[in-house]
Structure 1
Amino acid sequence: MKYATLNILIFLLPVLLATTGWAQQKPQLVTPYERSGGRQTATYAEIIDYYGRLDRQFEQAKLVEIGKTDVGKPLHLFLLAADKVFTARPDRVTLLINNGIHPGEPEGIDACMMLARDLLVANKLPKNVLLAIVPVLNVDGALNRGLSRVNQNGPELYGFRGNARNLNLNRDFIKADAENTRAFQAMFQRLKPQVFVDNHTSNGADYQYVVTYFATQKDKLHPDVSGYMTRTFQPDLDRMLASAGFPTAPYVNHPKDTPESGLLGFNDSPRYSTGYAALFNCFGFTLETHMWKDYPARVKGSYAFDEAVLRLCERDARTILANKQRADAAVSRQTTFDLNYKLDRNRVDSVTFLGYEAGYKPSEVSGLQRLYYDRTRPFTKRIPYLNTFVPDLRLTRPQAYLIPQGWQEVIALLRRNGVPMQTLTRDTLMQVSAYYLDDYKTSPRPYEGHYLHTGVKVRTETVTLPFYKGDYLIPVNGPTNRYLIETLEPQAADSFFAWNFFDSILDQKEYFSDYIFEDTAAELLRTDPALRQKLAEKRAADKAFAENANAQLDFIYRQTPYFEKTFNRYPVYRLEAARP
């Protein structure tokens, strides 16, 4: 560990000192942030122009377009490779750093521009790491420049959280509504990074730290990856940052008014960037610099964080690669999967926290009591920390999934995310397990353009159904298994069903006319004693049902061959045995 700390200090000191003299030495490589004396963040045009200049000046750098965005501008990726080979390879770590998913939180944008330059000029690129930087993911929001974060201390102007469709891209990594996200997914699957960083700025409480962060939720990662991340990578990262002048704390997510009440781990489900990365055994970090620290301090903290992660990837490249390979192999063989993790409030740890004393005083606005933090009264305390999550659901994987070809939007998502698929070569009857949706709740208000389904309850029936030439057979026997389970099992919190991709199955298409069906229902009751008994039991158990004639007709209708078999039948089928 002494070597790692010394390594980053030796590297950071000349870099941080050198940046002050860039205007005299290399004026064409001074960033807009530096030129403004730390008051401004680069615009989208300035960002891409700057990386383009680095590309033209250094053979170890390459700026590429990876797709479009909802605003119509291209999405870029900046690649740095000591050997000038800009593709992922099995013998080196790929570190992916994402910036500007929320362009109003721009520290990472400016820090990465300087970090890329300094690595190239000082010839400090690691030979065993491919560094991939997304200059700004939410190009749309970056172009919508102004003031929107009233609680943030600088810069003078910055971008907006929503993209051109007013989507929060850090909720879009499963549904992929935005072109930005689709381009990111395709790029991610080409690079297959082992380590991921997403640069942000916090909201919320006041405290002494410039740098806080949360790591990929450890309990859902494969043990080879999570064990190394929690026992080696994170402790060394924290020590390196403290030595560089940036002591860290877990992301300040607290259950009551102030952090002294304790901190809660963040459950980054697959809709979030780090949760998405975790589906593919890539561990990640969401950096949250503190909103109310001055902008130069936040940029320097982002720089130190990203560079420290890079140096740890360099130091431990062999271990990181081996862990990911073992995890991918294990997931390919894995037969049961845990889903829907929830915080275990009975497992309490503690952390040392550098905060400010909080108090209450009368509000000048309302006259009522208001919270405030007293920066003249800093404290160092041990506070509770809850960061153990347990699954709420365990499922056994099928041998394969079958998806009729009509669900092209889902097929496109699976294909973009690297899922191997086969198409049936002829029409065939197959025995499959089918889910029927017995219950679910739907949010009353839209969330990121969707009315999310939760509390999904299913029953399973074995049925023989026709499938047709061109329908999709998806084996569940590879490293994309967790992605498949999390998206195709309807009970999963961020499944495609939860995000409304299959809502048309929730509409009943055929009904009965009561005045005609009355006679049919009466005849059914006369000839079917079992049905007559079911109806009697239902009436006895439910007074409202017993007083509702139409409900009783509907109850009988649902027991007849006329009731549509596809109603509420989930159209992704499980093949439980190997296909003959």
Structure 2
Amino acid sequence: MLSFLLPALLLAAPTPQPDWRTPFEKGTGNTTATYAECLAYYRQLDAAYPEITMRAAGPTDCGEPLHEVVVSLDGDAEPASVRGKNRRVVFIQNGIHPGEPEGIDACMALVRDYVQKKELRRQLANVTLVVIPVYNVDGMLVRNSTTRANQNGPAEYGFRGNARNLDLNRDYLKQDSRNARSFAQLFRRWQPDVFVDTHTSDGADYQYTMTLIATQKDKLHPALSEYMRHSLLPALYGGMAKRKTVMTPYVDFEGRTPDARGLVGFLETPRYATGYTTLFNTIGFITETHMLKAYAPRVKAQYDFLDLMVRTVHAQADALGRAHAAADEQLLTQTTFPLAWQLDTTAADVVSFRGYEGTLRPSAVSGQPRLFYDRTRPYTRPINYYNTFRPAVSVEKPRAYVIPQAWEAVADRLRLSGVQLEPLLRDTVLTAETYYIADYKTGSRPYEGHYVHTAVELRTERQPRAFRAGDLVATLNQPAARYLVEALEPQATDSFFAWGFFDSILQQKEYFSDYVFEDVAAELLRKDPALRARLERLKAQNAVFAQSGAAQLDWVYRQSAYYEKSHLRYPIARLVP
């Protein structure tokens, strides 16, 4: 009889429940998921829950695909369809610096909880969550325990540089990496309302576990800035305080310690994640957990912030949607665009800062005075927070830009960022504003693979320009208008010119032999008395010039028809009303 009952009892045994603990939760509190463990966990979630979609989202430099994870209550993972349902989109990116992995571990738990817990599922009634599990796949595969010398755990982690040794958080506009090009396409498909990029800070010692970079308020479109400052940020700071994780603005400062001269707002230009996303009217945040706190509290702080972000967007969905729509609508009629910014040191808010006293003590290495933060002497005191920036350089937007098809690398990046380009159908001559590069400075050492140009000065001429069929026109009545201006105006901080995409125009291709051109120049001066008079005035005004025959000959050459018109001429033309 027993032999007949045993199979029945075995069949009736309950099915073991899946272990939904993340690799971090299974560990010691000082371990982070490997790349393989991270993807395997999301695949397990994707297979178990129709609300979760995981898919490849383009290549990276190491050959592995970038992935996106979409969490949507009805399983809708198509960006256009989600936007059509008037849902707010929260886009979270992790692992841009894989040595700062708290967001990677926090998001795995967050995605799980948002499908398993009824209270959290309700937050997704009007919100779709999009997660990049690991952005710098390349760096996460280079696992080590030494490259983050200033950091308190985890035991092992990834590397900051990608497969080309690029810092991907400097690559958003120039897009040298496949990672950045894949991100641009994914980001423009989703057009999120809020973007969060998770990090770990370096720098001073202080009491906070979490610090925050919000999109710089003066760079953000006014409609969104108003909403962010008066609704979103108060909810985030207040909510984190209720969870016993008090936040402060990112601890960037100019003195020896944060309390010496106060905090300075971080001006994220388009090379950075949130500087790029701001160009498309997305409110951006960079979470910076403190490197010296233990790893487990840092993961919890990231989880709490991301959870609070989804909850707040759910509660404020209508207000956020109105602000975003207003910004998009007003962008189309905006006429003046700032290209560079300057900190206003006369404008300061006051924040209550929780720090540690900074003192000097002799170095055990050099014997010289070294900075020491004394954790036995915590303080809370008001300090200044300088976060007002004024436009230093602005430009009136043109009706359109014309991009010669020869500049393919620029055109390709414009398309990846959602710019609509229309080809000219036939050869034509257009009267357009043309820039000449009058002066610029170039860094003496490479930065992220480029010698970056700064302090650009321009001379503008309105002139007829010949363009060919297939050259590209980008009108400014499109959602990518601000991106176009900051990418194509040479004086913009992170323009394509600044990153060296047009360096070939800076080199002369033809010149003269002085012994031959001497006679040509003399004849030019004889035939043109006005030219001769200009030369004599310059000699009278500049003694060095007056003593240099070579300089005078070069000057005459540059005024003549022999001087190549393309030298220093910025190739992209501005069509103005």
TM-score surpassing 0.5? Answer: yes
- Match of 2:528? 528
Matched, 1:76 2:74: no
- Note the C-alpha offset of 1:26: 5.1
Instruction: Point out where structure 1 has 5 or more consecutive residues left out of the alignment.
Output: 1-23
Which position in structure 2 is the counterpart of 1:180? 179
- Count of aligned pairs between the two proteins: 554
Residue 138 (structure 1) aligns with: 136
1:194 alignment counterpart: 193
Cα distance per residue 1:492-528 (max 9 Å; x no partner): 0110100111111111111011111111111111111
Aligned residues of 1:83 and 1:127 also touching (Cα < 8 A): no
- What is the alpha-carbon distance in structure 2 between the residues aligned to residue 474 and residue 385 of structure 1? 40
Q: Is the 8 A contact 1:75 1:139 kept in 2?
A: yes
Equivalence for 1:214: 213
Deviations 1:189-214 (A, max 9, x none): 00000101010000011111001011
Structure 1 CA distance for aligned equivalents of residues 226 and 63 of structure 2? 42
The question of whether the paired residues in 2 share the 8 Å contact of 1:442 and 1:453 is answered with: yes
Tell me if the contact between 1:433 and 1:573 (Cα under 8 Å) persists in the aligned partners: yes
Which residue of structure 2 lines up, in the alignment, with residue 398 of structure 1? 398
Map residues 272-311 of structure 1 onto 2, 5 A cutoff: 272-311=272-311
**Does 2:88 align with 1:93?**
yes
1:290–1:25 distance in 2 versus 1, CA, 3 Å: farther
CA distance in 2, matches of 1:214, 1:424: 43
Tell me the residue number matched to 1:567: 567
1:128 alignment partner AA: N
Alignment-derived partner of residue 389 in structure 2: 389
Which of 101, 104, 125 is the matching residue for 1:127?
Answer: 125
Give the superposition deviation at 1:28.
Answer: 3.1
In structure 2, distance between residues paired with 1:263 and 1:465:
49
Measured at CA, do residues 364 and 25 of structure 1 come closer, stay the same or move farther in structure 2, by a change above 3 Å? farther
The equivalent residue for 2:268 is 268
* Cα distance in 2, alignment partners of residues 34 and 367 from structure 1: 44
Distance in 2, Cα, partners of 1:322 & 1:534: 60
Q: Does 1:115 align with 2:106?
A: no
Kindly state the Cα deviation for residue 363 of structure 1 after the two structures are TM-superposed: 1.1
- Alpha-carbon separation, structure 2, partners of 1:319 and 1:92: 12
Q: Deviations over 1:338-389 (max 9, x none)?
A: 2211211111211001111121111111111111111111111001110001
CA-to-aligned-CA distance 1:396-428 (integer Å, 9 cap, x gap): 111111011111111111111111111111111
Higher mean displacement: 420-429 or 152-161:
420-429
Give 1:169-568 correspondences, 5 Å limit: 169-261=168-260, 262-568=262-568
What is the CA deviation profile of residues 230-260 of structure 1, one whole-angstrom value per residue up to 9, with x for unaligned ones? 1111011101001011000010001111111
The one-letter code sitting in structure 2 at the alignment partner of 1:110 is D
- Letter matched to residue 204 of structure 2: A
Identify if the C-alpha distance between structure 1 residues 182 and 306 changes in structure 2 by more than 3 Å, giving closer, same or farther.
same
Q: How far apart are the structure 2 equivalents of 1:388 and 1:530?
A: 50
State the match for 1:17 in structure 2.
none
Q: 1:241–1:247: 8 Å Cα contact kept in structure 2?
A: yes
CA drift of 1:87 comes to 2.1
Q: What residue ranges of structure 2 are gaps of 5+ in the alignment? A: 1-14
Percent of aligned pairs with the same residue?
A: 51
Q: 1:101 corresponds to which letter in structure 2?
A: I
1:538-566 CA-partner distances (Å, limit 9, x unpaired)? 21222222222111111000111111111
What is the Cα deviation at residue 37 of structure 1?
Answer: 2.2
Cα distance per residue 1:21-48 (max 9 Å; x no partner):
xxx9955322111111212101111111
TM-score by structure 2 length? Answer: 0.95
CA contact under 8 A between 1:129 and 1:313: conserved in structure 2? yes
Deviation, structure 1 residue 177: 0.4
What is residue 30 of structure 2 aligned with on the other side? 39
- Cα distance, 1:325 vs structure 2: 1.1
- What is the distance in 2 between the residues matched to 1:537 and 1:346? 44
Give the deviation of 1:317 after TM superposition: 1.0
Q: Distance in 1 between matches of 2:479 and 2:323?
A: 13
Distance 2:277 2:428 in 1: 37
Q: Give the letter aligned to residue 132 of structure 1.
A: V
